[in-house]
Amino acid sequence: MIVVKLGGSVVENAKNIIEELKRCERDIVIVPGGWIFTEEVRRMNLDDDSAHWMAILGMNMYGYYLSRYADLIEPEEFDFNPDGVKILLPYILLKKNDELPHSWSVTSDSIAIWLAEKIDAESVVKITDVDGIILNGRLVEKINASDLKVKTCLDDFAPKLLLEYGRELFVCNGFRAGRVKDYIMKGRAKGTIVIGR
């Protein structure tokens, strides 16, 4: 099973991305980003607890938006099987398993990594609107999570989870056809592998 975080930054190409994922013929759980819904929550200047749960509900809303392209799942426990490509509505699962900090350092990036660990997924992919981790103006093909000292396209908590779990995450550009499929099917594509060490 593969966990794919599908960010709101690629919403305009979401249909093509999900069709590409389906062609991989693998069991894939899509964790939706928060898109415009979470950005609205950010503007409200709420307390951490309220903002956390409202932002996760924003992920559910983006999931419903994406549901025109793939079926939804809304599990309460971790023993689910996506059986193809499915879009996760995370709110109930996270309410029942409230293990992540309530902070803007934790976004759908961290939730995707956390989920991958809980369901023992073989890999985690973040699909966004950049080619990968850019440092000093250059794409980094591989980097240790412990070396991520500056702000990148990953949320601030994601490197800590990768280190804690000893996992890898692949970051790639969802506007570049074939990259996601190449990584899933061949284990290599243009992007950045972030290694949990």
Q: State the pLDDT at residue 150.
A: 82
Task: Name the domain count of the chain.
Answer: 1
CB crowding 84-117: b at 16 or more within 10 Å, else e: ebbbbbbbebbeeeeebebebebbbbbbbbbbbb
Question: DSSP state, 145?
Answer: G
Distance from chain centroid for Cα 69:
17
Instruction: Assign residue 22 the CATH number of its domain.
Output: 3.40.1160.10
For 47-101, how does the pLDDT look when each residue is reduced to its tens digit (9 = 90+)? 999 999 999 999 999 999 999 999 999 999 999 989 999 999 999 999 999 999 9
Reference 60, options 92, 100, 86, 28; nearest CA is 92
Strand partners, 128: 173
Q: State the pLDDT at residue 96.
A: 97
Strands 168-173 and 192-195: antiparallel
Q: Which domain holds residue 178?
A: 2-195
Beta carbons within 8 Å of 10's beta carbon, 6+ residues apart: 17, 127, 128, 129, 174, 175
For 7-37, how does the pLDDT look when each residue is reduced to its tens digit (9 = 90+)? 999 999 999 999 999 999 999 999 999 999 9
Q: State the pLDDT at residue 83.
A: 93
Strands 133-135 and 138-140: antiparallel
Is residue 187 very low, low, confident or very high in pLDDT (cuts 50, 70, 90)?
confident
Beta carbons within 8 Å of 119's beta carbon, 6+ residues apart: 1, 3, 29, 78, 80
Strand partners, 138: 135
Please give the Cα distance from 117 to 166 (Å, whole number).
10
Q: Looking at the chain, list the stretches that DSSP marks H as alpha helix, in order from N- to C-terminal side.
A: 14-23, 35-43, 48-66, 91-96, 108-118, 158-165, 179-186
Mean pLDDT of the chain: 96
Contact between residue 72 and residue 102 where contact means Cβ atoms under 8 Å apart: no
**Torsions phi, psi of 107, nearest 5?**
-125, -165
pTM over 0.85: yes
Residue percentage of the chain with pLDDT more than 90:
93
